[in-house]
């Protein structure tokens, strides 16, 4: 039977195939136990059903020849705002679906759509689009729930967050928001603010990850916050306190606190711009791959050429300039978001931070899955887990993306086998 393929835009094979059984063979399989050279992976009804050395003898499956590439768990991006000219806060189904599709081309198989500090009406509209977008999302990275970033932040550490919306936690406000939706899975806030500890406790009671972000807290405040539920540090090093002097005395900040609290997890924007190689190496050396998630923190310009763009919604966002592989405020006084894709993060950790391939992949798959408590289904190539699988070469250039057993992106043709 002749090979099958659907040629799409840009000369690439971009397709959605839902075969009951798929065999990927002749690849280097990345598993929790190590690398399996020349291995095979079998997918049945969207699940991983077999991992083997050599070529599995399966006669009734569609086959994908990996041609010696890596067969890897899909990348999981737990902090992403946009891509391909869209932002989740554009508040359209098209934005949700296109962002998921664009990032899937670079190996992301699951993501946590993220908001920015904004008005309540805008936030509720964004949250209301999650479920219909999730239901219609058949050609992109799967959604794992929403991440609200703000508006309960330190004004001093607001970065590119819009100062018009920054405020202390309001119990009446956040309780009402969470009473109207169940799609929020993480919320980032500054723990030193008035009412922030009670907010953390409330999030924990709802099984929502409380994360420290845009904060000027000191060690003692972070320790108390950790006990109240703030177990994760959002875009580590960015918009957060380090060692500071107050009335001549030195105080440890959030950065030192996250290092000292062994069980606190962190996420880093490993785009090669937000953190230089020495800091990437330091985070890896102290926290280790099990406690680190790589994130894009990508805004709408991800996947597009340099130039002017908008951070946040088209209606109410902030103008930014994309240059030097990063988004900046117009006066170039600060970064205003990343334009990275997941493949770039893994590549940078290997080439710039001198991390092993297996650990770099882990920080982009199993570790973020664990942080979001979906590691029972996602994040590693293990029998019984969701078939979220990607193929890439030695330069981490993604060849094929499979989400829940569906081939949603491929640069090669797929050939059915006959019995």
Residue given tokens 């807290």 in the structure block: 217
Half-sphere exposure of 240 (CA within 13 A, CB side): 30
- Within a domain: 411: yes
Supply the range of the domain harboring residue 93.
75-371
Residues shown for the chain? 419
Considering the domain architecture, whether residues 180 and 315 belong to the same structural domain is answered as: yes
User: How is the beta sheet containing 184-189 ordered, strand by strand?
Assistant: 146-149, 184-189, 209-212, 230-233, 265-269, 292-295
Whole-structure pTM value: 0.94
Task: Report the CATH number at residue 338.
Answer: 3.20.20.140
Task: Report the CATH number at residue 60.
Answer: 2.30.40.10
What's the rounded Cα separation, in Å, for the pair 287 and 293?
Answer: 11
Considering the domain architecture, whether residues 56 and 148 belong to the same structural domain is answered as: no
What's the rounded Cα separation, in Å, for the pair 235 and 113?
Answer: 15
Considering the domain architecture, whether residues 122 and 179 belong to the same structural domain is answered as: yes
What's the rounded Cα separation, in Å, for the pair 225 and 193?
Answer: 11
Considering the domain architecture, whether residues 30 and 127 belong to the same structural domain is answered as: no
Considering the domain architecture, whether residues 339 and 361 belong to the same structural domain is answered as: yes
Strands 398-403 and 406-410: antiparallel
Considering the domain architecture, whether residues 62 and 140 belong to the same structural domain is answered as: no
What's the rounded Cα separation, in Å, for the pair 231 and 357?
Answer: 27
What's the rounded Cα separation, in Å, for the pair 353 and 351?
Answer: 6
The domain total for the chain is: 2
- Within a domain: 2: no
Q: How confident is the prediction along the chain (419 residues), in pLDDT tens digits per residue?
A: 223 332 333 334 444 555 789 999 999 999 999 999 999 999 999 999 999 999 998 888 899 999 999 999 999 999 999 999 999 999 999 999 999 999 999 999 999 999 999 999 999 999 999 999 999 999 999 999 999 999 999 999 998 888 999 999 999 999 999 999 999 999 999 999 999 999 999 999 999 999 999 999 999 999 999 999 999 999 999 999 999 998 889 999 999 999 999 999 999 999 999 999 999 999 999 999 999 999 999 999 999 999 999 988 888 888 899 999 999 989 988 888 899 999 999 999 999 999 999 999 999 999 999 999 999 999 999 999 999 999 999 999 999 999 999 999 998 755 554 43
DSSP H/E element including 99 = helix 93-104
* DSSP 8-state symbol, 152: S
In the numeric block, which tokens belong to residue 358?
A: 């297996």
User: How is the beta sheet containing 326-328 ordered, strand by strand?
Assistant: 307-311, 318-323, 326-328
What's the rounded Cα separation, in Å, for the pair 181 and 60?
Answer: 43
What's the rounded Cα separation, in Å, for the pair 179 and 168?
Answer: 19
């Amino acid at each position: 039977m002749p090979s099958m393929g659907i040629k799409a835009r840009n000369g690439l094979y971009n397709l959605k195939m839902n075969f009951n059984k798929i065999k990927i063979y002749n690849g280097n399989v990345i598993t929790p136990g190590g690398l399996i050279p020349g291995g095979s992976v079998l997918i049945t009804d969207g699940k991983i059903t077999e991992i083997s050395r050599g070529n599995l003898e399966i006669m009734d499956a569609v086959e994908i020849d990996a041609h010696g590439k890596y067969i890897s768990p899909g990348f999981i991006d737990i902090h992403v705002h946009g891509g391909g000219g869209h932002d989740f806060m554009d508040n359209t189904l098209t934005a949700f679906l296109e962002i998921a599709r664009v990032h899937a081309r670079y190996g992301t198989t699951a993501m946590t759509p993220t908001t920015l500090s904004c008005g309540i009406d805008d936030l509720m509209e964004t949250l209301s689009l999650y479920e219909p977008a999730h239901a219609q999302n058949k050609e992109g990275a799967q959604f794992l729930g929403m991440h609200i970033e703000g508006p309960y932040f330190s004004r001093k550490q607001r970065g590119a967050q819009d100062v018009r919306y920054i405020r202390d936690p309001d119990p009446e406000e956040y309780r009402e928001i969470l009473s109207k939706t169940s799609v929020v899975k993480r919320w980032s806030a500054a723990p030193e603010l008035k009412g922030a500890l009670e907010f953390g406790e409330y999030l924990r009671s709802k099984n929502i990850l409380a994360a420290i972000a845009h904060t000027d807290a000191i060690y003692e405040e972070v320790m108390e916050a950790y006990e109240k539920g703030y177990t994760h540090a959002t875009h580590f090093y960015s918009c957060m306190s380090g060692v500071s002097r107050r009335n001549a005395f030195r105080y440890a900040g959030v950065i030192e606190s996250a290092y000292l609290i062994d069980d606190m997890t962190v996420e880093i924007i490993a785009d090669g711009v937000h953190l230089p190689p020495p800091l990437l190496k330091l985070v890896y050396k102290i926290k280790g791959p099990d406690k680190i998630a790589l994130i894009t923190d990508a805004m709408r310009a991800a996947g597009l050429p340099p130039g002017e763009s908008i951070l946040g919604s088209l209606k109410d966002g902030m103008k930014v300039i994309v240059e030097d592989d990063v988004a900046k405020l117009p006066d170039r006084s600060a970064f205003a978001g990343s334009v990275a894709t997941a493949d770039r993060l893994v590549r940078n950790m290997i080439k710039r931070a001198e991390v092993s391939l297996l650990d770099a992949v882990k920080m982009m798959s199993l570790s973020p899955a664990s942080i979001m408590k979906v590691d029972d289904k996602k994040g590693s190539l293990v029998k019984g887990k969701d078939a979220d699988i990607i193929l890439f070469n030695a330069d981490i250039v993604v060849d094929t993306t499979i989400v829940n057993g569906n081939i949603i992106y491929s640069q090669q043709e797929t050939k059915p086998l006959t019995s």
